[in-house]
Structure 1
Amino acid sequence: MIRNAILAAGVVLSSASQLRIPGVPVGAGEICLALWIGLSISRIFIWGRVAANQSLRRLGMFWMLFALALSIGAVVSFLTDREIDFSTVTHDATAYLLMAMLTCLATAEPDGDARLRQIAWLLIAFANAGLAFQVAVGWGMLGSGTLSPWYWDRFRGWSENPNQTALYCAVMGPVAIHLGMTADKAIGRIAGFAGAVMPLVVGRLTKSDTFLLAMLCSGALLVGLQVRTWMAASSRSLRYAAAIFIVLAAPLSAIALLPYAVAVADEVESFALSLTKDKGGDATMQTANLRLDVWQGALRRGLETGSLGLGPGPHLDRPNIPNMQSLPMPFEAHNTLLDLYIQGGLIAVVAFGWLIVGTLILVLRARLDALAAVIGVLALFGISHFIFRHPIFWFAIALCVAEGCARAPMVRARYGR
C-alpha cells in the first residue's frame, strides 16, 4: 500500500515544476518515482517474483525497439558532426530510462492490473486534493508564497506551463470515470464520477484549446462506445429493432435538420471561437503559425537524416518568426510523432504508432470504454505537445495495457469476437 501511494504521489507531483528547488533538475515527483523504482527492484531481488505476462511483453517490446531507434539516431548524430547539447541529451535519456523502468516494473507485478487500479484510485484522490489546494491558492483563499498559479489569465497551478496542467487534468478525468464505471459497489461508482469533476473544472481554467477539443472528442467517443456496449448487452430482438430504427431515421432526420444547420452555421462558428483562449484572435493565429513553421522544420530535419533520427534531445533551430527570440535553443517540434521522428527516425514512429493503436484496439476489445477515451485524449494532446516524457502518459498507457490484457479474455468469452 505504501509503495502504491509513493507511485501515485510521484505521478501527481511530477507536474509540480514550480515546487522544485531552483537550479535542481529534479523535484518531489521525480524523487518519489525513483524511490518507487528502487523499492520495486528490491522486491524483485528479495522475493524473486516477476510476472512475465502479456502486458509486460508488449511494453518491453516497445522499449527495446525505441532503444534501438535512439541508438541508431545517436550514431548518425555523431557521424554527421552535429553540435550536440549534452545536457538536453542526458535529460531525455534519463527521462526515457525512468519511464521504461516505471512501465515495465508496474506490469511485472504478479497482480499488476489490480495493483495499477489501486494506484489509480490513490492518484485520483491525491490529484483532487492537490487541485483543490491549487485553486484555493489561485483564488486568494490561501497564501501563495513563491507559487504563481496564474500565467496571465490562464491557470497553471504548480506547473510552469498551463498546457502541462491541462494534460494531467485531461487524463485524470477519464481515468476517474473509468474507475467509477467499473467499480463493483455504488460508493465506488459515486467516488469515481465525483473524482472527475475537479480535473475537468481545472482543465477548463487553463484555457487550453487542446484540452477543450480532447474533452469534446473523448466525450463523444465515450457516448458512442457506451451505445455499442448497450446494444451488445441488450436482447437480440431489441438490437435489431434499434438498428432498423437508426437506419431508417438517420436520412429523414438529416433532411429535416439541414435547413436549421445552414441557418445556425455562423452562430456555431462564433461559439467555437469563443471557447478558444483568445477567441480566435492574434494569440491563436500566432500559435498556429509557430506550430506549422516548427513542424515543417522537424519534417525536413528528419528527412535529412534518412529517417534514422539524431538521438535523444531537441535538434531544431529556433523558429524564424518575429518576437520569438526568447524561445530556447535547441528547439523541439512540440508534436510527439515529429519529435520522435527527429530523435529515433522511422523506427521510433512505427513503434510508437504500434503501441498507441495496439493499446486502443486492446481496450476496445476489452470493452473498457473510458480507457479508450484516455487513449483518444493522449493522441490529441500528442498532436500539439511532446507528451512522451510525462509520467502521466506512461501511467495511463500501463493502466490501459494491464487492464486490457486482464479483461479481454473474459469479454471475448462472453461476447465472442
Structure 2
Amino acid sequence: MTWLLAAGLAVYPSTQLRLGGLPLGPGELLLLAWLGLAALRLTLAGGAAFGPALARISLFWLTLALALCAGAAVGFAREPFQYWSGIAHDVMAYTLLASLACMMAIDLAEPARRRRAIRRAAALGAGSMLLQMADAWGPLALPGVDPWFYDRLRGWSLDPNQLGFFALFVALLAVHLAETAPRLREALAMLPLLGVALTTGLLTRSDTFVVALMAAGSLYLMLKSVTWLRDVPMGPTLRGGVAALGLLSLPLAAASAAPFLSAAVERVEQTSAEVYAEDGQGDLRFHLWAEAWEKGLWSGLIGYGPGPHLTSKSWKQPPPYKFEAHNTSLDLLTQGGIVATSAFLLLCLTTVGAAWRARLAALAALVAGLAVFSMFHFVVRHPLFWFGVAVCLLEATRPARAGHAAAGEIRS
C-alpha cells in the first residue's frame, strides 16, 4: 500500500495531467485511494495509538479549523461579496489534506513501513522527473502537455516552481535515505536519485528552488558539523580527522575568499534586481503581500475565512473573483488571522527543532527547505509538505536511534 501513497505523491505535482480543468487529477485520485485503503486497514487493525506526531498534526488542523470558522464569521459580516468557488475549493482541500496528514502520521508509525514509503516516494519521484525530462526533449511526448515555460522546465506541472518544489522534496529524501542507510552500497544507490532531482530543479530555473536548496544545505551542514563535534572524539578516526581539518581550514578559507566577496555581493545584487524586474513580478508580489497584510489588520487579526481575499491585483477581474498572496503565512493571516499564522509557524519551528534534537540533519533540512518555499507558495495545501512533516515528526520521536548512529559509524 505504500506504493500507492508514493505514486500519489510522485504524480500529484503533475497538474497538467488533470483533464478538462477538473480540480482532481491522477495524483489526487491515487492519494484518495490510499487514504481509503489506509482507513480500512486501520479499522480492521482495531485503531492506532495517538502518538506525538499525530498529536502535533491534529492540534494544528484543529487550531486552523477553529481560526477559519472565526474568520468566516468576520468575512460574512464585513466583506462586500463572497467568492464561493474559492471558499468551496479551500474547504475541500483542507479536509483532504487534514485527513491525509493525520493518516500519514498513523499509517507510517512503524519504522520499517515508513522507510519503505520514503524510499518508494524518492524512487518514483525521480522516475517521474526522468519521464518529464524525456517529454521535454522529445523521446516521450504526451499530448496536451507543454513541458516548457519559455526556457524554464516545468514538466507536467503548470508552473516551474511547482516542479522545483517537488525536486527539492525528492533530493532531500534521497539525502536522508543515504544518511540512514545501513550499508554503504545502499547509500550510494541514492546518488542517482539525488542527481536527477538536483538537475531537474536547476532546469526549472526557479529562484525559490535555489534559495531553498541553499538554506536547506546550510542547515544540513551545520547540524552535521555540530553532531560530529559533539559525538566524535578528535582522535585517529575519519570523522575526527575531517572535523579537525575543517576547523583548521576555516581561517584560511575565509582569508582566501575575502577578495571575491565584493564581486559575489555585486553579482547577487544584480541577479536579484533582474529577477525582481522580470515581468514586473517583484512589484506585483510585494503589492499582493502588502494587501494581504492590510487585509489581516482590517479583520482585527481574525481573518475572513477560507478562500482567497485579495482584490487589487495588477490585472483585475470583476467580482467575485479574488486572488491569493502566494505566501503561506500571509494567506493564512487573511483566512484565519494571527492564530492560523502562528500555528503554521509554530508547526514548522517545532518540527525542525524536533529533527535537530534527534540529529536528523536531512529531515530538518527538508522541512526548512519546504518552509522557505512557503514564502512564495501556499504549501499547506501540498501533500508533499505534510508527508515531510509527518515523516520528520515520526522519525524524531522514534524511541531508538542507536541503529542509525551505528550505521553511520560503519560507513565512516
**After TM superposition, is the score higher than 0.5?**
yes
Aligned position for 1:48: 46
Aligned equivalents of 1:229, 1:100: Cα separation in 2: 34
User: Is 1:379 aligned to residue 371 of structure 2?
Assistant: yes
Residues 107 and 113 of structure 1 are in contact (CA less than 8 Å); yes or no, is this contact kept in structure 2? no
Q: How does 1:24-35 map to 2 (within 5 A)?
A: 24-35=22-33
Aligned position for 2:114: 116
Residues 362 and 408 of structure 1 are in contact (CA less than 8 Å); yes or no, is this contact kept in structure 2? no
* Match for residue 331 of structure 2 among 312, 336, 339: 339
Aligned equivalents of 2:354, 2:383: Cα separation in 1: 21
Aligned position for 2:396: 404
Question: Secondary structure of the equivalent of 1:171?
Answer: helix
Aligned equivalents of 1:274, 1:200: Cα separation in 2: 24
* Match for residue 306 of structure 1 among 283, 296, 300: 300
Aligned equivalents of 2:341, 2:298: Cα separation in 1: 16
Aligned equivalents of 1:365, 1:36: Cα separation in 2: 32
Question: Secondary structure of the equivalent of 2:378?
Answer: coil
Residues 138 and 150 of structure 1 are in contact (CA less than 8 Å); yes or no, is this contact kept in structure 2? yes
Q: Deviations over 1:146-187 (max 9, x none)?
A: 210001111000101111111111111111100111011223
Aligned equivalents of 1:192, 1:305: Cα separation in 2: 48
Aligned equivalents of 1:246, 1:185: Cα separation in 2: 26
Aligned equivalents of 1:279, 1:210: Cα separation in 2: 14
Amino-acid identity (%): 36
Aligned equivalents of 1:251, 1:23: Cα separation in 2: 57
Aligned position for 2:277: 282
Q: Deviations over 1:195-221 (max 9, x none)?
A: 111111001111100111111222122
Letter in 2 for 1:84: Q
Displacement of 1:232: 2.1
Residues 8 and 31 of structure 2 are in contact (CA less than 8 Å); yes or no, is this contact kept in structure 1? yes
TM-score, scaled to structure 1: 0.88
TM-score, scaled to structure 2: 0.89
Q: How does 1:88-103 map to 2 (within 5 A)?
A: 88-103=86-101
Cα 1:290–1:5 shift into 2, 3 Å: same
Structure 1 window deviating more from structure 2 (265-274 vs 47-56): it is 265-274
Cα 1:250–1:17 shift into 2, 3 Å: closer
Aligned equivalents of 1:68, 1:197: Cα separation in 2: 43
* Match for residue 292 of structure 1 among 282, 286, 289: 286
Q: How does 1:55-70 map to 2 (within 5 A)?
A: 55-70=53-68
Aligned position for 2:409: none
* Match for residue 133 of structure 1 among 125, 131, 134: 131
* Match for residue 185 of structure 1 among 183, 186, 207: 183
Aligned equivalents of 1:99, 1:295: Cα separation in 2: 25
Aligned position for 2:410: none
Aligned equivalents of 1:243, 1:138: Cα separation in 2: 43
Aligned equivalents of 1:379, 1:387: Cα separation in 2: 8
Question: Secondary structure of the equivalent of 1:196?
Answer: helix
Aligned position for 1:357: 349
* Match for residue 268 of structure 1 among 264, 268, 274: 264
Aligned equivalents of 1:71, 1:92: Cα separation in 2: 13
| Runs of at least 5 residues in structure 1 that lack an aligned partner in the other structure | none
Displacement of 1:46: 2.1
Residues 101 and 383 of structure 2 are in contact (CA less than 8 Å); yes or no, is this contact kept in structure 1? no
Question: Secondary structure of the equivalent of 1:129?
Answer: helix
Aligned equivalents of 2:189, 2:240: Cα separation in 1: 35
Displacement of 1:385: 1.6
Letter in 1 for 2:394: A
Displacement of 1:112: 3.8
Aligned equivalents of 1:169, 1:102: Cα separation in 2: 21
Residues 54 and 102 of structure 2 are in contact (CA less than 8 Å); yes or no, is this contact kept in structure 1? yes
Structure 1 window deviating more from structure 2 (264-273 vs 394-403): it is 264-273
Aligned equivalents of 1:246, 1:177: Cα separation in 2: 21
Displacement of 1:371: 0.7
Aligned equivalents of 1:105, 1:252: Cα separation in 2: 50
Cα 1:243–1:17 shift into 2, 3 Å: closer
Cα 1:39–1:250 shift into 2, 3 Å: closer
Residues 113 and 399 of structure 1 are in contact (CA less than 8 Å); yes or no, is this contact kept in structure 2? no
Structure 1 window deviating more from structure 2 (334-343 vs 238-247): it is 238-247
User: Is 1:367 aligned to residue 365 of structure 2?
Assistant: no
* Match for residue 213 of structure 1 among 208, 211, 224: 211
Structure 1 window deviating more from structure 2 (301-310 vs 73-82): it is 73-82
Aligned equivalents of 1:193, 1:247: Cα separation in 2: 27
Residues 366 and 407 of structure 1 are in contact (CA less than 8 Å); yes or no, is this contact kept in structure 2? no
Residues 7 and 27 of structure 2 are in contact (CA less than 8 Å); yes or no, is this contact kept in structure 1? yes
Question: Secondary structure of the equivalent of 1:160?
Answer: coil
Displacement of 1:341: 0.7
Displacement of 1:45: 2.2
Structure 1 window deviating more from structure 2 (44-53 vs 160-169): it is 44-53
* Match for residue 315 of structure 1 among 290, 303, 309: 309
Cα 1:229–1:343 shift into 2, 3 Å: same
Cα 1:267–1:121 shift into 2, 3 Å: same
Aligned residue-pair number: 402
Structure 1 window deviating more from structure 2 (382-391 vs 242-251): it is 242-251
Aligned equivalents of 2:128, 2:246: Cα separation in 1: 45
Displacement of 1:374: 0.6
Cα 1:211–1:253 shift into 2, 3 Å: closer
| Runs of at least 5 residues in structure 2 that lack an aligned partner in the other structure | 407-412
Letter in 2 for 1:267: A
Aligned equivalents of 1:133, 1:181: Cα separation in 2: 26
Cα 1:189–1:93 shift into 2, 3 Å: same
User: Is 1:14 aligned to residue 12 of structure 2?
Assistant: yes
Note the aligned Cα RMSD (angstroms).
Answer: 2.9
Cα 1:339–1:78 shift into 2, 3 Å: same
Displacement of 1:94: 1.1
Aligned equivalents of 1:406, 1:71: Cα separation in 2: 35
Question: Secondary structure of the equivalent of 2:381?
Answer: coil
Displacement of 1:271: 4.4
Question: Secondary structure of the equivalent of 1:384?
Answer: coil
Cα 1:251–1:64 shift into 2, 3 Å: same
